[in-house]
Amino acid sequence: MAEGQKPTINDVARLSGVSKKTVSRVINKSPLLNASTREKVESVIAELGYVPNPQARALALRRNFLIGLIHDNPNAQMVLGVQEGILDTIRDTEFALVVHPVNRYSPTLHDDIRRFIEQQRLYGVMLLPPLSERDDLADLCRDLGCTVVRMGSARLDEDAHLVASNDRQAVREAVGWLAELGHSRIGFVAGPEGFRSANEREQGFLEGLAGAGLSPDPAIMARGTYRFESGKAAGEKLLAADIPPTAVFSSNDEMAAGILHAARERGLNVPDDLSIIGFDDTATAAHIWPPLTTVRWPIRAMAKTAAAKLIRPASAASEPSFFLSDLIRRASAVPRSAA
């Protein structure tokens, strides 16, 4: 180690008595190569521990092998799950994952993203919700010469560039489950306006109610911001209704935890007095008391597919780009009490 410079293609060429071009052919697995030449070169490569310089390769090929992940931290576990999913795909390839958290409220958001992509000459980028819902950002990335994959909770785009989960159906099932448990007065806490996911979940809720022959009551519906505090406030509103709900569906887990706090402060027992279902299956969901029934979407698998669509557009275009979420049944949703 540490004998200074790393070996280059020239060193390999010299030591194996062939031209650099031939070494290049070996590296790139060119088919028109004599087997004995290949073996000779490969043995020299192994001996030297030669690894091609990616920067030189990128320069010569006029394309590089960096894929960017642009997100606005919707939730730490999701972001990390996505990173792991992407790594599942690019491990053992020459690609690397470059992350770039941004602030979606920043007035310089466009410039920020533009600089990131231009400066690193990214090959492709992946957008996470809620950023992925914005067509202007996707267009910006494409104009800059990147292929784009958007993860989201609804079809937004042509299949080849989108990976989605079916939030709407998942919520419909969750609400159906509450109805099965005997609940007929089911509250709802929506996500923030303007979020595709929020809208999808709301539609799912309404469809679920309808499917159970119930009708929505604005008195036990509220809108939150996906944050804990907003969930708590929403819970307070719902529980103060003339006829409070016996069950609530919350559009994400954080807000569900807030509702739980609101219920506790009112002296209610969860789940006996109030069943709660959340969405996302974050770590918190399993660790609060009672453990939260929630919807889990397959983030890592989605991200893995998304990355495949990015780096192997041809072969991955045919892969399914629609993922189904599961209802994880835990202790926070129980049959409606006899009372």
Partner DNA sequence: GCGTTGGGTGACACCGGTGTCCAGACGATC
Partner DNA sequence: GATCGTCTGGACACCGGTGTCACCCAACGC
Please tell me the distance from the alpha carbon of residue 136 to that of residue 148, in angstroms, as a whole number. 12
Nearer to DNA, 32 or 338 (CB): 32
301 binds, among DNA, its own copies, none (CB under 5 to 8 A by kind): none
Q: What is the DSSP letter of 102?
A: -
Using rule CB under 8 A, residue 178 touches its own copies: no
Q: How far apart are CB 20 and DNA at their closest, in Å?
A: 5
DSSP letter for each residue of 285-301: HHHSSSPPEEEE--HHH
- Within 16-45, the residues that bind DNA by CB under 7 A are 17-25, 27-28, 31-34, 36-37
CB 276 within 8 A of CB 293: yes
> Is 292:253 a contact under the CB 8 Å cutoff?
yes
Secondary structure E strands in the chain = 66-71, 96-101, 124-127, 147-152, 162-165, 186-190, 221-223, 247-250, 275-279, 293-296, 322-323, 326-328
List binders of DNA among 48-107 (CB under 7 A).
50, 52-53, 56-57, 59-62
Q: Applying CB under 7 A, does 8 fall inside the site for DNA?
A: yes
288 binds, among its own copies, DNA, none (CB under 5 to 8 A by kind): its own copies
Q: Which does 199 bind (CB under 5 to 8 A by kind): its own copies, DNA, none?
A: none
Q: Is the dihedral of CA 147, 149, 97, 73 positive or negative?
A: positive
Q: How far are the Cα atoms of 31, 67, 142, 311, 318 from residue 315, in angstroms, in the given order? A: 21, 18, 21, 9, 6
Q: Measured from the CB of residue 161, what is the shortest distance to its own copies in angstroms? A: 17
Q: How many residues bind DNA (CB under 7 A)?
A: 31
Chosen from DNA, its own copies, none, partner binding at 20 (C-beta under 5 to 8 Å by type): DNA
Binder among 26, 151, 156, 257 for its own copies (CB under 8 A): 257
- Choose the one of DNA, its own copies, none that binds residue 195, judging by a C-beta under 5 to 8 angstroms depending on kind: none
CA nearest to 280, candidates 325, 218, 230: 325
Picked from its own copies, DNA, none, the partner binding residue 332 (CB below 5 to 8 A depending on kind) is none
Q: Tell me which residue of 92, 74, 150, 164 sits closest to 310, measured CA to CA.
A: 150
Q: Which residues bind its own copies (CB under 8 A)?
A: 1-2, 6, 51, 53-56, 58-59, 64, 66, 73, 76-77, 79-80, 83-84, 87, 94, 96-101, 116, 118-121, 143-145, 228, 254, 257-258, 260-261, 264, 282-284, 286-289
